[in-house]
Amino acid sequence: MSQSQTQDESNLNTLDPNWRNDALDLGLDYGMQTIAVRAGQHRTDEGEHSEPIFTTSSYVYQSAADAAAHFDGTKTGNVYSRHTNPSVRTFERRLAALENGERAVATASGMGAILTMCLAYLKAGDHLLAANQLFGSSIGLFNNYMAKFGVEVSYVDCFDNDAWAKAVQPNTKVIYCESPSNPLAQICDIGYLSQLCKANDILLVVDNCFATPALQRPLDLGADVVIHSATKYLDGQGRVLGGALVGSDKLMQEAFTVVRSGGISMSPFNAWVFTKGLETLKLRMQAHCQNANQVAAFLVNHPNVSTVHFSGLSDHPAHELATCQHHMKDGYGAIMGFEVKPSGSLDSKAAAWHVIDSTQMVSITNNLGDAKTTITHPATTTHFRLTAEARAEAGVNDGLIRLSVGLEDVEDIIKDLARGLDSL
């Protein structure tokens, strides 16, 4: 029974060709902003202008035979919202178009997308090679759970191309990185990694959550799969959780079966929020980046800041690479790390906490990619669960502060940061 059940499940909701990116109403001749506003929507007979929210868990059939045809795969269409939902599909199609992928698969959160990637593309005995600068929960998932199921995991310095090449093993199946990375906004050479992967039959998976397709399209640079925490800039206002994978039809079909079987699905309401978020993504990212460039310029000149990790600075080691990889002019993202110097009796951690606690407007929170500027002490929050050794390797020291520069007036953001930095 279990085997035939698995077989039946895999027949459910095989792709309706109309859901594919290449069947978008728009065709291929539209600009990115037009795609962001219009792609993926299929109007119902009601003629609604804006995208509706389909809050339904299941779908009805014309007859018993029609139901059977949906289940045996002779007919395509919705059967259950854990599998597919029209609001989720609109978001998937719009995001796929923006990332220039054939298809996207939405998930309940960014971590849900990363777990889906692991379950779809790795098995016991495989090796996952990852950048050592990653969001803390991604490292936790790889070390605590993938390792538990027999996947070998190792890490390399994300900016060291030779180290990547040396770390490839015969059983390496996935190379995984974030670019820019959390929390130091480090940049990986996606083109180089793509060549390395192609030469060794490895999948290249890039978390594009910090750049978003408004700044960078990893698939165009040679990646096989893009990961998103939609929770961040795709929403852009810190309202709901979600995630997505984007790539070829074939790879996405494998991801889709994991999401459907494992129940890692996105809620229709959240999908609607993200769909509407995508409409303003490029405009928001432009404004975020402009503010971030000015905040970085302020921080780099402050006497109580020892280092600013932001590829928009012309002397950053990855400045040129980021300039090539990001297609938005002066768009280096809006997340940066900066290290606060110890001062008097305050060690670096106390000095960093002083700067955080002195803010009056900026939000002390671990989320990022929000219209509101957020400030975080990674060593004691997002990266707290890592071993001290892993934290050190990832460059997460006690004086490090992560800033997600928002859309407030930049003078107010700078004034709020100066309050603590000036009084050290």
Ligand X SMILES: Cc1ncc(COP(=O)(O)O)c(C=O)c1O
Would you call the peptide bond into 17 cis, given omega within 30 degrees of 0 as the criterion?
no
Which 181-200 positions form the footprint of ligand X (CB under 6 A)?
182
We find the least distance from the C-beta atom of residue 142 to ligand X, in angstroms, to be 12
Which listed residue (51, 126, 189, 207) binds ligand X by CB under 6 A? Answer: 207
Map tokens 């299929």 to a residue. Answer: 42
We find the least distance from the C-beta atom of residue 111 to ligand X, in angstroms, to be 4
CA dihedral 403, 406, 408, 409 (to 10 degrees): 70
Residue 35 or 158: which CB sits closer to ligand X?
Answer: 158
Which listed residue (81, 231, 267, 404) binds ligand X by CB under 6 A? Answer: 231
Q: How many CB atoms lie within 10 A of CB 8?
A: 12
Residue 109 or 304: which CB sits closer to ligand X?
Answer: 109
Residue 19 or 155: which CB sits closer to ligand X?
Answer: 155
We find the least distance from the C-beta atom of residue 382 to ligand X, in angstroms, to be 7
DSSP run (H or E) holding 414: helix 410-422
Collect all residues with Cβ–Cβ distance below 8 Å to 56 and sequence separation of at least 6.
Answer: 81, 85, 268
Which listed residue (111, 156, 299, 356) binds ligand X by CB under 6 A? Answer: 111
Determine contact, residues 338/352, Cβ cutoff 8 Å: no
Q: Name the closest residue to ligand X (Cβ).
A: 110
Q: What ranges in 248-405 are assigned the alpha helix state H?
A: 249-262, 268-279, 281-300, 319-325, 348-357, 388-393
Q: At what angle do helices 410-422 and 348-357 cross, to 10 degrees?
A: 140
Is 253 buried (19+), middle (13-18) or exposed (0-12) by CB count in 10 A? middle
| Residue 130 identity | A
We find the least distance from the C-beta atom of residue 110 to ligand X, in angstroms, to be 2
Map tokens 């305050």 to a residue. Answer: 346
135 binds ligand X per the rule CB under 6 A:
yes
We find the least distance from the C-beta atom of residue 231 to ligand X, in angstroms, to be 4
175 binds ligand X per the rule CB under 6 A:
no
396 binds ligand X per the rule CB under 6 A:
no
We find the least distance from the C-beta atom of residue 174 to ligand X, in angstroms, to be 15
Distance of CA 125 to the CA centre of its chain: 27
We find the least distance from the C-beta atom of residue 207 to ligand X, in angstroms, to be 5
Residue 246 or 421: which CB sits closer to ligand X?
Answer: 246
110 binds ligand X per the rule CB under 6 A:
yes
Which listed residue (90, 229, 348, 374) binds ligand X by CB under 6 A? Answer: 229
116 binds ligand X per the rule CB under 6 A:
no
Cα–Cα separations (whole angstroms), residue 252 to 83, 245, 249, 343, 356: 13, 7, 5, 51, 41
Determine contact, residues 114/262, Cβ cutoff 8 Å: no
We find the least distance from the C-beta atom of residue 125 to ligand X, in angstroms, to be 26
Which 43-82 positions form the footprint of ligand X (CB under 6 A)?
none
Collapsing DSSP to helix, strand or coil, 210 comes out as: coil
235 binds ligand X per the rule CB under 6 A:
no
Which listed residue (109, 172, 270, 311) binds ligand X by CB under 6 A? Answer: 109
We find the least distance from the C-beta atom of residue 232 to ligand X, in angstroms, to be 7
Binding part of the chain for ligand X, among 89-97, 107-115, 161-169, 322-330 by CB under 6 A, reads 107-115
Binding part of the chain for ligand X, among 29-37, 105-113, 194-202, 277-285 by CB under 6 A, reads 105-113
We find the least distance from the C-beta atom of residue 116 to ligand X, in angstroms, to be 12
Buried b (16+ CB within 10 A) or exposed e, 325-358: bbebeebbbbbbbbbbbbeeebebbbbbbbbbeb
Which listed residue (88, 98, 221, 241) binds ligand X by CB under 6 A? Answer: 241
Determine contact, residues 333/374, Cβ cutoff 8 Å: no
178 binds ligand X per the rule CB under 6 A:
yes
Q: How many CB atoms lie within 10 A of CB 76?
A: 17
Question: Which residues make up the interface to ligand X (CB under 6 A)?
Answer: 109-111, 135, 178, 182, 207, 209, 229, 231, 241, 243
